[in-house]
Amino acid sequence: MKIPTNNNQPPNGGGRNTPNILLPSRVIPDESDWIPINNVNEWRSDNQPYYARASFMKLCLPAVLYSLILNVSLKMLSLVPFTSSFRINVQQLHYDDSFVLPSTNGDDETTNPIAIVTGSNTGVGFQTATALVQRGYNVILACRSREKGEYAAKKINDQSNDRGDLLKQYGNASFLHPLDLSSFASIRAFCKVYSDKYSTLNILVNNAGINSQGDVTEDGLEMCFQSNFVGHFLLTKLLLPHLLKAKNKCNNNKEEAGRVVNLSSVTHHFAPANERLYDDTTDSSLSKDLPLNNGIHDKHFWLGSATPGLSNGTYRESKLASILFTMELNKRYGSQGLRSVAVDPGSVASDIWRDESQLMQNAYKMVYLTPKQGASTSIAASIGILPKDAIYLQPYLQWRLNKAQSSTKWPWYKVPNPTTEMLGKYIGYAITDPRLPNDGSGGYKSAQALWSVCEKITLKKIRVS
């Protein structure tokens, strides 16, 4: 897509060929919308060892070596008698640890619990939708192409029917309406069609994502950040009334409202707030609303993530945003029964790498998880009865147990060294503390800033000219 320019825009900094975007002042949140994040040195992301893109590249090779050595060692030990303590089993989500389904016919779309999975015609999303159908949920495949969505739904239903287990209650997969997360109009159209047919929503899995940057959406935002996060923010907001009406039953007779699952990534560890593309700090015409970053994940940082051309790390930033969004959803709507969980599917050989060379795709398949393995965290987060305050799941063995939570049967780890979350021993799913912005409030000030920016952006369409 050709990036348009506008002479009334913030400068492109040091002569860079950076796209310009018209940001009407009415879109910029007022200062009253924010809990201020003071510019204290210890809160700066450049004082935190992993909040730098260079750290990500440095840790890639150690992660590969660590994974190979660990997996080979554990495999060899498992073959030696009397070493059963070294055998690490993959976590399987048991029905006793999941929501209880109502006793209904799997084809009854009016009474079966309903789930929406975005980007579910392929990869991790497809496997997540398949597992939910086989658990008894009616799953709506929310993707851009009707043809691909309907084909995927048929494939899921055929797989379930072929299992031949007459005693098991299966759900049904269906395609309702195209959903393009890079278009606010498409998101609103999808939600309108959904609202006309359904009144509740049990599970929303915000799975879809892209890994390419540089394009601009029809709404004037950076393509990757809108497709991965801002679009899901708007989708979730529009579906909140349906989520709050839902009743997910636990086996202890307790109930939750709807469950929102947000796909994050190990790359959330590498979303610095002090690295932007432009570097001309002396230009007096630089927009006061988009200053050179001060190293803090505040309103300026998130506005910059949504603005084309100001960051080459919007994939990483979108994945940190998914975790902060999860926290803010729980803070705002937890008292009404809503529960939100962020997940890292792990390093997965999925269609997100379709723009890479065939050689690289083949290499990924050798060391990465399969889409079915990658879906394990999404499934556990969607229907699992999670311990209180658990907000983030990832699929690899870690070495720093959170002792305060050691009594739970769900493995719960402290914030890991990112090396062990890139690759490692696959264990299905485990609760892990995420790496949050050091804003003096455990990430909540940054989360509120993110929410306010997205709320303003989605309420007022930003124009590109």
Measured between alpha carbons, how far is residue 231 from residues 208, 234, 263, 297, 430 in Å? 10, 5, 13, 20, 27
Q: Tell me the chain's radius of gyration from C-alpha atoms.
A: 22
Segment among 162-166, 225-229, 379-383 with least mean pLDDT: 162-166
Interhelix angle for 299-306 vs 314-333, to 10°? Answer: 120
State the pLDDT confidence band at 41, using cuts at 50, 70 and 90. low
pLDDT attached to residue 358: 66
Residue 16: Cβ within 10 Å count:
13
Active-site amino acid positions? 315
Element (H, E) at 255: strand 255-256
pTM for the model: 0.85
pLDDT attached to residue 275: 74
Q: Which pair of tokens denotes residue 320?
A: 């940190």
Residue 415, C-beta contacts closer than 8 angstroms, at least 6 positions apart: 400, 432, 433, 434, 435
pLDDT attached to residue 355: 64
- Phi and psi at 134, nearest 5°, equal -70, -15
Q: Which pair of tokens denotes residue 387?
A: 């311990």
State the pLDDT confidence band at 8, using cuts at 50, 70 and 90. very low
Q: Which pair of tokens denotes residue 127?
A: 């496997």
Tens digit of pLDDT for each residue in 239-284?
999 999 999 999 877 899 999 999 999 999 999 887 776 544 434 3
Half-sphere exposure for 328 (CA within 13 Å, toward CB): 22
The arrangement of strands across the sheet holding 259-263 comes to 173-174, 138-142, 114-118, 203-206, 259-263, 339-343, 392-396, 426-432, 412-413
Return d(Cα 30, Cα 408) in angstroms, integer.
43
Residue 408, Cβ density class (10 Å: 0-12 exposed, 13-18 middle, ≥19 buried)? middle
pLDDT attached to residue 277: 62
Higher-scoring residue by pLDDT: 83, 385: 385
Do 344 and 423 meet the contact criterion of CB atoms below 8 Å apart? no
As a dihedral over the C-alpha atoms of residue 65, residue 399, residue 322, residue 140, rounded to 10 degrees, the angle is 90
State the pLDDT confidence band at 92, using cuts at 50, 70 and 90. confident
Highest mean pLDDT among 69-78, 208-217, 288-297: 208-217
Residue 78: Cβ within 10 Å count:
12
Segment among 27-31, 224-228, 442-446 with least mean pLDDT: 27-31
